[in-house]
Amino acid sequence: MPSLRNQLRITNHTHVEKSITDYKSYTRGSSQYHKQYAKRMTLKGKINSALLRDYSNERQVVNHFFDSDRPIPIWAIFESLTLGEFGTFFSCASSNIKLSTSSILKLPRNLDADGKITEYIIYTIKDLRNAVAHNNTIFDTRFQTNSINHRLLSLLETEIGISGLDFKYIEAYVILITYVLRKMGVTKTECKQFINSFADCTDELRVQMSPNVCNQILGTQQRAHLLKLQEFISNS
């Protein structure tokens, strides 16, 4: 049986090397080429570290492939990555992979010609996911660590038919999640149930607090935006 080091090398060669080639879309030797190549090398190190960690913890998904002397497929690698690491993987992925993902999600081609919107979605949701996983406060979006890409904002506003979307309010994350759920094929009924559950929670808050305080927490456009979101779901 090959050593774990060799197995990791085989895994990277057969599955990862062909996928994370975004650096090739830049002029060889340019600063952007160097930056993307460095990101790629860092990512490969993180993948190896994640696999070694899960192997040491005897996680069955990883151990099954190691112990049967088989290369680990990409889907199993994803099981070991954090959402942030997955975002880095997608950022490093070739343009073909990005465009294919955009096509699968049926994102509007005129707003996602390079397929990068999915990357922006992953990084935006990552902060919320981490806050929820660690039971942190989320109502005031204090968990946000990255600026929201303007192209993602433009896509959501255009697709849903709203303006003034602001991710300093939790409602924007609900809109994004609902949009992604619908694009992934979740039923209209389930999406509307999710929206209504959120609306019920905020309605309860409005009863308990003054309008001024609620507007500071929730913004002034929440109800209008959620109505537009309901219309989008109905027409999608």
DSSP the chain: ---HHHHHHHHIIIIITTT--GGGGS-TTSHHHHHHHHHHHHHHHHHHHHHHHHHHTT-HHHHHHHHTT-PPPHHHHHHHS-HHHHHHHHHHS-HHHHHHHHHHTT--GGG-TTS-HHHHHHHHHHHHHHHHHTT---TT-TT--SPPPHHHHHHHHHHHT-----TTSHHHHHHHHHHHHHHTT--HHHHHHHHHHHHHHHHHHHHHS-HHHHHHHH-SSHHHHHHHHHHHHHH-
Q: What ranges do the domains of the chain cover?
A: 4-93, 137-235
Condensed to tens digits (0 to 9), the pLDDT of residues 79-95 reads 888 898 999 999 999 99
| pTM, entire model | 0.84
Convert the pLDDT of each residue in 105-144 to its tens digit: 999 999 999 999 999 999 999 999 999 999 998 988 999 9
The better pLDDT of the pair 96, 79 is held by: 96
State the pLDDT at residue 15. Answer: 54
pLDDT score at 56 = 80
Residue 4 has pLDDT above 60, yes or no: no
pLDDT tens column, 135-173 = 998 988 999 988 899 999 999 999 999 999 999 999 999
